[in-house]
Structure 1
Amino acid sequence: MRFEEFQEFRQRELIGSPSLLDAAETNVYRALAPMRPEPPADVSTVHRCDLARAWLRRFQLPEEWSGHAMVCRGVRHGLSVVFQRLHAVQARLWLPGDVYPVYFELARAAGLEPASYPTLPTPVLPSSPADDRAEYLLLANPSKPLGRYLSEAECAAVISWLRASPRRRVLIDSVYDLGVPFAVGTRRLLDTGCAVLLHSVTKGWLWPRTFGVVLLGPEHAGHAGHAGQAGQTEWAEWAESFRSDSPTPEQLRLADRLLTEHSDMPRQVVDELAARAERLFQRLPDDVIGAIPTASRTCPGNYFFPVGIPAETLRREYGVLAMPVSVFGETSWPGSVLTSLADTFGPAPGDGPMNR
């Protein structure tokens, strides 16, 4: 069952069975709408280079990296530009098959034919041998709907995969990482020099498709997967692709306000999501809670919870409406996914940051 089909099914079930516990809302922007900061009213000029440096400072990354911190309109937009560049060099692309169907839509729109690897119930990295092609592995950290960060062993496995070929790179979608600094695993991968980090104001500030950064690792920025002049040419082409399709002045002004006047917003989002998750857990039977991995239940800012029980069983035997994992893509895992975004798990009137 795909996402659109499930949404229709969900509405029918909630109308027909009002006693069902709705643990299948996915729209965080609707759920947390009262928290979203307002856009600025002024018309001042904000420069991309200044925003890139402000973003690096906020996430405790070296400001000297600003030369290869490409400003974009969010992770989706950033990936679309990156995928176009990968197609230009005929790179192989690996995507998580059960995380976000839009990954595949963007890749195919860029002319790529991506391969996939599973993440549920645990990530299984591709094992095919390296060859002379440039090869990119996309992962999310933290990963949804896995609902947690890479483990130390999983991070080591990614590094081992990278070391198998000088033409391998990893793309890290860190949009769900709301902490400062970025997760330990993400920083370890950045330290390899072979990572491209994508982040945005989408989840932490609740402004999708507005502003983001694609940070090219030092080795990638220096060589772009090739030696000598060819590498420098390719790097210049990456940079020009982002410059020619940058955020609007209004989006840059909004991003500046979010990073400066609302720097604490991601922490507030984390706190609100933690409170909602706790309300969800209070409503779940012990059997269901026990089927959710501990790492998912305790991951800061998480609102996706994989559970090793089929969605049909949860609905029929426990009165809980969950999402089938097919909503997220192709998978053979028989479990399902719960969320804590429904109004049922929101704060009571006058209680908490949602009502300030």
Structure 2
Amino acid sequence: MRFEEFQDFRQRELSASASLLDAAETNVYRALAPMRPEPPTDMSTVHRCDLARAWLRRFELPEEWSGRAMVCRGVRHGLSVVFRRLHAVQARLWLPSDVYPVYFELARAAGLEPASYPTLPAPALPTPPADRRPEYLLVANPSKPLGRYLSDAECAALMSWLRESPRRRVLIDGVYDLGAPFAAGTRRLLDTGAAVLLHSVTKGWLWPRTFGVVLLGPAQTELAAAFRAEPPTSAQLRLAERLLTEHSNVPRQVADELAARAERLFERLPDDVLGAIPTASRTCPGNYFFPVGIPAETLRRECGVLAMPVSVFGENSWSGSILTSLADAFGPAPTGAC
């Protein structure tokens, strides 16, 4: 069942049963709408180089990397630019099959035919030997719907994969990382010099498709011209400056609110369902996706919990399902008049 099909199914099920617990909302922007900062009203000029340095400072990365920090309009835009380059050099691309279907849409729009690997119930990196082509592997850290950061062992496996060929690179989608600095695994991969980090204000500041940064590796300057030719608008740059300076605490506030919602979800789940959620997912800061090794149909029929089948996120043969903590039932209690 694909995403659109599931949304129709979800609405029918919730309408038919008032007692069904909705653990299948995915729209974080709607759920946390009151927390999104307002855009600026001034018309000041903001320069991309200043924003690149501000982003590096925000995430405690060396400011001398500013020449490699490419300002863009978000992770989708950044991936589109990167994927066009991969097509030009006839690179092999590996994408997670069960994270975000848009990855495949963007890759195919760029003329690529990506291969895939599963992440549920745990990432299974591809094993084919390296060939003469450039080879790129996309990971999300933290990953959804896995709902956690890469483990030390998984980061070590990625680094081993990189060492097998000087033509290999890792693309890291860090959009779900609400902390600063970035996760230790992300920093370890950046230190290899063979990683490209993509990040944006989409999740932390709740402004999708607005502003992002693609941090290139030291040997990937050929991509810089492509990014400089496709800058954000002046309004997007002004908004980004305001988010990074005046609203620097919003990602922490978002993470705190998501943690509170997760606790409210856990309080409503039967003990056996809660116990089936991996500890790493339950404790990951700012997480709102929780994989559980129980089929969605079983959860709905026997537990009164509406969960998402894995097929909503892409191809995977795992029989488990995904819970989320974004529905109104897990939000703050409404404040009434005294």
Q: TM-score range by the shorter chain?
A: over 0.9
Say which of 258, 277, 286 aligns to 2:271.
Answer: 286
Equivalences for residues 132-147 of structure 1 within 5 A: 132-147=132-147
Partner of 1:224: none
1:120-135 correspondence to structure 2 within 5 Å? 120-135=120-135
The residue number in structure 2 matching 1:185 is: 185
Deviation readout 1:113-163 (Å, 9 max, x if unpaired): 000001000000000000110000000000000000000000000000000
Identity %: 85
1:268 pairs with one of 242, 248, 253: 253
1:209 maps onto 2:209 in alignment? yes
Q: Which residue of 1 aligns with 2:102?
A: 102
**Equivalents in 2 of 1:250, 1:349: separation in Å?**
34
Residue from 275, 283, 291 that aligns with 1:306: 291
Matches of 2:286 and 2:217, distance apart in 1: 26
Q: Identify the residue that residue 69 of structure 1 maps to in structure 2.
A: 69
Query: What 5-or-longer segments of structure 1 have no aligned partner?
Result: 222-234, 352-356
Look up the SS of the partner of 1:125 in the other structure.
Answer: coil
Q: Distance in 2 between matches of 1:349 and 1:50?
A: 41
Q: State the number of aligned residues.
A: 336
1:341 aligns with one of 302, 321, 326: 326
Which amino acid in structure 1 is aligned with residue 296 of structure 2?
A
CA distance in 1, matches of 2:301, 2:280: 27
**Within 5 A, what are the aligned runs for 1:39-58?**
39-58=39-58
- Per the TM alignment, residue 240 of structure 1 is displaced from its structure 2 partner at its CA by 1.5
Any idea what SS the aligned residue of 2:266 has? helix
The CA deviation at 1:100 is: 0.4
| Structure 1 runs, 4 residues or longer, greater than 2 Å off | none
With normalisation by structure 1, the TM-score equals 0.94
Helix, strand or coil at the partner of 1:133: coil
1:81 is paired with a residue whose SS is helix
For 2:167, the equivalent position in structure 1 comes to: 167
- Corresponding residue for residue 111 of structure 1: 111
**Structure 2 counterpart of 1:231:** none
Secondary structure in structure 1 of the residue aligned to 2:34: helix
Secondary structure of 1:175 counterpart = coil
Provide the residue aligned with 1:226 in structure 2: none
**Deviation by residue 1:291-331 (Cα, 9 ceiling, x = unmatched):** 10000000000000000000000000000000000000000
DSSP 3-state at the match of 2:285: coil
Residues 248-285 of structure 1 deviation map (CA, whole Å, 9 limit, x = unaligned): 00000000000000000000000000000000000000
Confirm or deny that 1:331 pairs with 2:304.
no
Aligned to 1:80: 80
- Inter-partner Cα distance in structure 1 for 2:146 and 2:123: 9
Quick check: 1:258 aligned with 2:249? no
CA RMSD of aligned residues (A): 0.8
Question: Where do 1:147-162 residues align within 5 Å?
Answer: 147-162=147-162
Q: By how many angstroms is 1:245 displaced?
A: 1.1
Q: 1: CA distance between counterparts of 2:276 and 2:315?
A: 21
TM-superposed CA distance for 1:199, in Å, is 0.2
Cross-structure match for 2:306: 321
Aligned partners of 2:86 and 2:127: how far apart in 1?
21
Deviation at 1:18, TM superposition (A): 1.2
In structure 2, C-alpha distance between the alignment counterparts of 1:85 and 1:256, rounded to whole Å: 28
Cα drift, residue 243 of structure 1: 1.1
TM-superposition CA deviations, 1:181-215 (whole Å, max 9, x none) = 00000000000000000000000000000000000
Find the residue that maps to 1:341 and give its secondary structure.
coil
Letter in 2 for 1:338: L
Q: Offset of 1:349 from its aligned partner?
A: 2.0
TM-score normalised to structure 2 length: 0.99
Q: Distance in 2 between matches of 1:287 and 1:203?
A: 31
Secondary structure in 2 aligned to 1:281?
A: helix
Unaligned runs of 5+ in 2: none
Distance 2:99 2:71 in 1: 24
